[in-house]
A and B are shown apart, each in its own frame.
Chain A
């Protein structure tokens, strides 16, 4: 297992476009988390899944954001009608229950 993988590493998009990020967790991990980190700040929680169920969503996750984990394995995070304020590092992490928290390398989004 190569850890938590995120794709793409970098994404530049024009304002108003939709973007989708992918996260592949550690295979035996049942929990998957999405966090967002803006420059100079610590990460902030967006949402998490246990298997395929989305159990918690932050109020930061506006209706332009949607996340899925259809088969309880990989997850996607989609942002519709991107805004400049969406520019950030999007981090994925996975764990087995509450153990073995492992982070991916992140996807850096720049909205121009």
Chain B
């Protein structure tokens, strides 16, 4: 079992839909990152969370430390949101442990 599990693996939505991507982890962490990766490979950090909730534009990320679970929500989804979304956790060391990613496709 991976230390970081994401669901779903693939998600197809229509423009305007509300999207949720889930991340569960099995280790103690000091922080959790949500990352976005477009075709071509570059990774962009969306959020770093250690508790509660953060919002940036149409993106919302929440984390429940007790339940070892985080969610990334996208409101009013748009085709330009199509990308791979990756959850990564930071245990007590320095290196991130990554989930396998969720491929999101938003159709117009």
Contacts and interface: CB of A to CB of B under 8 A. Distances in A.
A23 interface: no
Interface string A43-66: 111001010000110000000000
Interface residues of A, number: 26
B97 A45 contact: yes
Interface in B28-59: 30-31, 33, 35, 40-45, 48
B94 A106 contact: no
B90 interface: yes
Nearest to B44: A103
A45 B42 contact: no
B101 A48 contact: no
Nearest to A46: B95
A60 to B, nearest CB: 12
A42 B95 contact: no
Contacts of B101: 41-42
Contacts of B31: 98
Contact of B95 (A37, A48, A105, A106): A48
A104 B86 CA distance: 15
A56 B41 contact: no
A106 B41 contact: yes
A26 interface: no
A44 B98 contact: yes
A45 B95 contact: yes
B41 A45 contact: no
Contacts of A80: none
A104 B44 CA distance: 8
Contact of A104 (B42, B94, B95): B42
Interface of B: 4, 30-31, 33, 35, 40-45, 48, 86, 88, 90, 93-101
Given A41-B100, A101-B96, 5 more contacts: A33-B95, A35-B98, A41-B101, A48-B94, A56-B95
